[in-house]
A and B are shown apart, each in its own frame.
Chain A
Amino acid sequence: MMEIGLTHYLILATILFSIGLIGVMRRKNLLMLFFATEILLNAVNVGFAAISHYYNDLTGQMFAFFIIAIAASEVAVGLGLLIVWHKRNGNINLDTMSSMRG
């Protein structure tokens, strides 16, 4: 209990990942959907850093860096698209994005 091992970190990453998945599934506000994806990426980063520490391997930290870079560019492009959508339609509700429904 007092010795923190890899399992503790993996369980924490699982909990954070499931919180992010709950957010992705139940939010209808597009901004909140972006927040939930950030939670998912952070949960994965915690798992990578823990594995990197407990196996004395730097690959996990490298992948965490690249995940952070991808998250930053995702925010830039996603927020731009969100602003364009808000200018055109006046709302950021996910349910209104059904223009391609058959």
Chain B
Amino acid sequence: MFEAIAFYLFAILTIVMFYIVVTTKQALFALTALAAGMIFISAFFFILGADFLGVVQIIVYTGAVMALYAFGMMFFDTTREVKEKNGSSLIIMGLSILSAVFVVAIFSAPIIGSNIESLYPTIEGATNSQSVGMVLFTKYLVPFELAAVMLLVAMVAGIVLAGKKMDRSLTLMAEEEILLSQEANKKVIL
């Protein structure tokens, strides 16, 4: 009963929030609605008993990714909106809904088959975080480490792409060069 009420409430809230994201003209509205939608998505994970996934959703998506987007938006003039001339929105909506239904049908087709066995069944008597830890650090250890390395590479790539004058290294420059560049900076400030 309560599960059904929670499901429908959060489903409506999530759909409304994500619809605002794809239709609004203001970038700030879109960012805020997306953050709210992410929080509401985490509610589904808590309803489904995937507690750890829900916490990760809140921390990583709304904490890190949304903060990064907010940081990135400071670089752009968000008040000057990009002019978006759209074609027929009816065709776009029809095509999107049709292809989404096809994708879900293709990927959920194996459910109809009856001989489905759990690859890693949930462990009896263990909480969700415990069983997640057991499976993640035994069966999925190598993909986990690969994901960690990938995040490190992405972090370095993001810093290098966004950073200015990263080709100048103070440790490789002579003392006079550093002093000269400091003098030049002072002149710019004055």
Interface residues, chain A, CB within 8 Å of chain B? 1-4, 6, 8-10, 12-23, 25-29, 31-32, 34-36, 38-39, 42, 45-47, 49-53, 55-59, 61-62, 64-66, 68-77, 79-84, 86, 91-93
Contact = CB atoms under 8 A, between A and B. Distances in A.
* Dominant SS among interface residues on chain B: helix
Contacts of A80: 157-162
B178 interface: no
Interface residues of B, number: 82
Given A2-B1, A38-B34, A92-B76, A76 B68 contact: yes
Interface of B: 1, 3-4, 7, 11, 14-15, 18-19, 21-22, 27, 30-31, 34, 37-38, 41, 44-45, 48-50, 52-53, 56-57, 60-61, 64-65, 68-69, 72-73, 75-76, 81-87, 89, 92-93, 95-97, 99-101, 103-104, 107-108, 111, 116, 118-122, 131-132, 135-136, 140, 143, 147, 150-151, 153-155, 157-162
A66 to B, nearest CB: 6
A39 B37 contact: yes
* Dominant SS among interface residues on chain A: helix
Chain A to chain B: the 3 pairs with minimum beta-carbon distance, closest first: A80-B161, A73-B154, A23-B22
B81 to A, nearest CB: 8
B118 A57 contact: yes
19 contacts: A9-B48, A12-B44, A14-B100, A14-B104, A21-B100, A26-B84, A26-B86, A28-B84, A31-B30, A35-B31, A36-B22, A39-B22, A49-B44, A53-B48, A57-B122, A62-B136, A65-B56, A74-B154, A86-B76
